[in-house]
């Protein structure tokens, strides 16, 4: 295409595309039914007619890989068969998606009888049927156990809903009002995206629109290649031992080798263990998504979100391994492994780009799924509550306490306590930071977040944690983070659950569960931490005076640093470890 767009108009169109995605997100939040969707566990993406991502609005960055994965099969299956008003739906992990609760809607965009792209939205649904509420258990052996699987099918045809399909979906989930309501919200958001793109083309013309999309694609690719070229050619490895296979078997070996070759990168997971007979497996599209979002966060955080970001990246995960399983392997619990892939990526990048990468955070977003019976008509019998612990320490700053993972974007924010208690039979008795838990360092990792739920009705509680017997790593001499903990309180007796990624417990009325997330890793030598920063943490009750003295060598008396004793203590601590 010879048509060229001047830089100012290019930036206008770039921001317009992002704004359309944001408007889609606002539509979803206003029209969604479930609490999961209303807090933002979704992503909006615009795609061109060739199936290439051209923009992303609100949501989690790693959802970009889902859309990229689903488009090739969709375009082949529906070539020449799409009409205005059609909306397609899929949740098939073996067709480019993630796990069954994630359903994507894709609406073709027509302008003057020409299909110019797709308006898409993927959201996590509160339930998808199957053996376990919420569809995220680790113990299923086949995907057939995990719930309803939708191949790419028409949910709407020329504007008319596929009522038979909607009835099938409603008849197979525990929360039909929520799921159908969220699908309708997704459809409304997709229509908003269609109107936005049509109005943009009306204003600037199709030739200008397509030229701008192509230029933005080339720009994003150029930015990524330029950043990769600054990294020394070589191979940077990182191995992990994933604690369990989800069904009481041995842990899983994960291997990663980042191969930097000029202005491109190969992300190679060869050597990782074979797929397992549980739901910990990660579909290939999600493995790619994890690699993409980590590289984007480091190499091209400000570049437009489009397929150009991924052109310099090749992801290798041998077929049949735990990161690219063969059908019909179960994948519902893939979330724990997803975040470990991200930790591996940043560990390898820390070797490739020293001084630029942060230590490991809490291990990934955790969750409570609470299913209870006997609800009133219209109420949801399943609550899924997402929450994060925070970030590992950065090369020049502390980790941030009490926020979601860096890679989750604005998707899946914690539900306000007041909303939880109004809408569900539950009390949040405690929600805070656990002192003395952040990995020590010149810069400190995030403190552990803990939450205590009191259940008011009998039901089933599933608690997800992404690290159990391993802890978040520190970097450049920083200490590792601290472990998780899950405690059941029943009749005044407190019982610790054994380390496991997914605690599955029957709870009675008045039972309580306390979930403490891991603390993040530290960065740099703890004895190099500014004593004033240590004092500030003590005054904020993030660490105790005894911890400050024992770990950081800082003596605090009367609310101030005793400089003479601190200097002497740090000197003796350095000599002891020499």
- Cα torsion angle, 410, 265, 343, 351, sign: negative
Is residue 28 in a domain? Answer: yes
DSSP codes, 204-244: H-HHHHHHHHHHHHHHHHHHHHHHHHTSPSEEEEEEEEES-
Q: Which pLDDT does position 408 carry in this prediction? A: 66
Is residue 136 in a domain? Answer: yes
Q: If residue 346 lies in a helix (H) or strand (E), which one and from where to where?
A: helix 334-352
DSSP state of 286: H
- Classify residue 107 as exposed, middle or buried by CB count within 10 Å of its CB (0-12, 13-18, 19+): buried
Is residue 62 in a domain? Answer: yes
Same structural domain for residues 435 and 512? yes
**Binning pLDDT at 50, 70 and 90, where does residue 1 land?**
very low
Count of alpha carbons within 13 angstroms of residue 79, beta-carbon side: 6
Q: Which pLDDT does position 426 carry in this prediction? A: 94
- Given 198, 221, 244, which residue is the final one in a domain? 221
pTM: 0.93
Q: State the CB neighbour count (10 A cutoff) for residue 5.
A: 22
pLDDT tens per residue, range 269-295: 999 999 999 999 999 999 999 999 899
CB 71 within 8 A of CB 32: no
Is residue 2 in a domain? Answer: no
Q: State the CB neighbour count (10 A cutoff) for residue 158.
A: 11
Of the candidates 466, 72, 56, 69, the residue with the CA atom closest to the CA atom of residue 296 = 56
**Binning pLDDT at 50, 70 and 90, where does residue 429 land?**
very high
Percent of the chain surpassing pLDDT 70: 96
- Given 511, 529, 547, which residue is the final one in a domain? 529
Indicate whether 180 pLDDT > 60: yes
520: its two tokens: 């993040």
What is the rounded distance in angstroms from the CA atom of residue 417 to the CA atom of residue 428? Answer: 7
Return the axis-axis angle of helices 545-552 and 531-539, rounded to nearest 10°. 150
Same structural domain for residues 137 and 30? yes
511: its two tokens: 């039972």
Same structural domain for residues 113 and 76? yes
Percent of the chain surpassing pLDDT 90: 78
Bridge partner residues of 496 (DSSP): 487
Give the 3-state secondary structure percentages of the chain, helix then strand then coil, rounded to 5. Answer: 35, 25, 40
User: Which of 4-8, 246-250, 481-485 has the largest mean confidence?
Assistant: 481-485
- Tell me how many degrees the CA angle 300-306-312 measures, rounded to the nearest 5: 60
What is the rounded distance in angstroms from the CA atom of residue 549 to the CA atom of residue 373? Answer: 51
Return the axis-axis angle of helices 176-204 and 206-229, rounded to nearest 10°. 110
Same structural domain for residues 544 and 401? no
Of the candidates 489, 490, 470, the residue with the CA atom closest to the CA atom of residue 481 = 470
- Cα torsion angle, 133, 389, 277, 324, sign: positive
Phi, psi of 272, rounded to the nearest 5 degrees: -70, 155
Domain count, the chain: 3
Indicate whether 519 pLDDT > 60: yes
497: its two tokens: 């659950």
Question: What average pLDDT does this structure show over 524-548?
Answer: 97
Q: Which residues contact 124 (CB under 8 A, 6 or more apart)?
A: 36, 37, 41, 42, 101, 102, 384, 412
Q: Which pLDDT does position 278 carry in this prediction? A: 93
Same structural domain for residues 523 and 566? no
For 399, the 3-state DSSP assignment is: coil
Same structural domain for residues 534 and 419? no
What is the rounded distance in angstroms from the CA atom of residue 504 to the CA atom of residue 300? Answer: 40
Q: Which pLDDT does position 61 carry in this prediction? A: 67
For 147, the 3-state DSSP assignment is: coil
Indicate whether 411 pLDDT > 70: no
Q: Which pLDDT does position 380 carry in this prediction? A: 59
CB 472 within 8 A of CB 392: yes
Same structural domain for residues 497 and 550? no
Is residue 311 in a domain? Answer: no
pLDDT tens per residue, range 320-352: 999 999 999 999 989 889 999 999 999 999 999
Same structural domain for residues 483 and 566? no
Bridge partner residues of 323 (DSSP): none
Same structural domain for residues 125 and 15? yes
Question: What average pLDDT does this structure show over 70-79?
Answer: 92
Is residue 405 in a domain? Answer: yes
- Given 221, 239, 268, which residue is the final one in a domain? 221
CB 212 within 8 A of CB 9: yes
**Binning pLDDT at 50, 70 and 90, where does residue 381 land?**
confident
Same structural domain for residues 434 and 551? no
- Structure-derived torsion over alpha carbons of residues 333, 316, 123, 155, reported in degrees to the nearest 10: -110
Is residue 202 in a domain? Answer: yes
Q: State the CB neighbour count (10 A cutoff) for residue 326.
A: 12
Is residue 254 in a domain? Answer: no
pLDDT tens per residue, range 223-257: 999 999 999 999 999 999 999 888 877 889 999 99
| Structural domain range at position 53 | 7-221
CB 305 within 8 A of CB 65: no
- Whole-angstrom CA distances from 468 to 174, 276, 279, 345, 448 are 30, 19, 17, 19, 13
CATH number of the domain that residue 60 is part of:
3.30.450
Question: What average pLDDT does this structure show over 128-153?
Answer: 92
Indicate whether 109 pLDDT > 80: yes
For 545, the 3-state DSSP assignment is: helix
Phi, psi of 29, rounded to the nearest 5 degrees: -65, -35
Integer Rg of the chain from CA: 24
Same structural domain for residues 474 and 569? no
Same structural domain for residues 562 and 466? no
Which single residue is written with the structure tokens 């052996």?
Answer: 141
């Amino acid at each position: 295409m010879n048509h060229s767009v001047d830089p100012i108009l290019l930036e206008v169109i770039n921001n317009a595309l992002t704004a359309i995605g944001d408007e889609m997100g606002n539509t979803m939040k206003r029209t969604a039914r479930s609490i999961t969707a209303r807090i933002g566990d979704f992503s909006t993406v615009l795609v061109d007619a060739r199936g290439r991502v051209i923009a992303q609005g609100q949501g989690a960055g790693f959802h970009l890989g889902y859309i990229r994965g689903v488009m090739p099969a969709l375009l082949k299956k529906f070539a020449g068969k799409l009409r205005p008003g059609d909306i397609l739906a899929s949740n098939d992990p073996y067709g480019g998606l993630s796990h069954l609760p994630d359903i994507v809607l894709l609406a073709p965009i027509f302008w003057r009888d020409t299909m110019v792209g797709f308006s898409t939205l993927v959201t996590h649904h509160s339930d998808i049927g199957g053996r376990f509420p919420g569809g995220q258990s680790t113990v299923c052996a086949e995907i057939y156990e995990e719930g309803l699987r939708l191949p790419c099918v028409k949910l709407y045809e020329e504007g008319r809903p596929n009522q038979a399909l909607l009835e099938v979906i409603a008849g197979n989930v525990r929360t039909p009002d929520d799921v159908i309501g969220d699908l309708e919200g997704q459809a409304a958001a997709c229509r908003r995206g269609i109107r936005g793109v049509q109005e943009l083309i009306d204003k600037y013309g199709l030739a200008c629109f397509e030229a701008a999309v192509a230029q933005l694609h080339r720009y994003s690719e150029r930015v990524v290649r330029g950043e990769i070229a600054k990294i020394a050619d070589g191979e940077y490895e990182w191995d992990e031992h994933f604690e369990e296979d989800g069904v009481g078997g041995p842990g899983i070996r994960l291997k990663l080798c980042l191969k930097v070759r000029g202005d491109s990168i190969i992300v190679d997971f060869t050597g990782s263990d074979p797929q397992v007979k549980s739901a910990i497996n990660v579909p290939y599209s999600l493995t790619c998504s994890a690699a993409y979002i980590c590289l984007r966060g480091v190499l091209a955080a400000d570049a437009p979100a489009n397929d150009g970001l991924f052109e310099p990246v090749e992801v290798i995960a041998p077929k049949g391994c735990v990161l690219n399983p063969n059908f019909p392997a179960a994948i519902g619990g893939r979330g724990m492994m997803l975040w470990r892939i991200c930790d591996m990526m940043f560990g390898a990048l820390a070797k490739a780009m020293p001084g630029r990468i942060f230590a490991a955070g809490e291990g990934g977003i955790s969750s409570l799924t609470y299913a209870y019976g006997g609800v009133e008509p219209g109420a949801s019998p399943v609550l899924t509550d997402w929450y994060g612990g925070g970030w590992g320490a950065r090369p020049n700053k502390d980790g941030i306490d009490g926020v979601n993972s860096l890679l989750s974007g604005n998707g899946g924010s914690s539900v306000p306590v007041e909303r939880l208690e109004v809408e569900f039979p539950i009390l949040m008795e405690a929600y805070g930071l656990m002192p003395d838990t952040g990995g020590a360092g010149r810069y400190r990792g995030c403190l552990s977040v803990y939450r205590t739920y009191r259940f008011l009705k009998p039901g089933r509680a599933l608690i997800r944690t992404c690290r159990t017997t391993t802890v978040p790593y520190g970097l450049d001499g920083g200490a590792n983070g601290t472990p998780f903990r899950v405690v059941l309180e029943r009749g005044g007796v407190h019982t610790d659950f054994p380390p496991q990624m997914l605690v599955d417990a029957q709870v009675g009325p008045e039972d309580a569960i306390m979930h403490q997330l891991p603390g993040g890793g530290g960065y740099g030598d703890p004895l190099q931490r500014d004593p004033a920063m240590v004092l500030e943490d003590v005054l904020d009750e993030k660490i105790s005076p005894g911890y400050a003295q024992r770990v950081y060598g800082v003596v605090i008396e009367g609310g101030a640093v005793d400089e003479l004793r601190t200097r002497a203590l740090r000197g003796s601590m350095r000599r002891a470890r020499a």
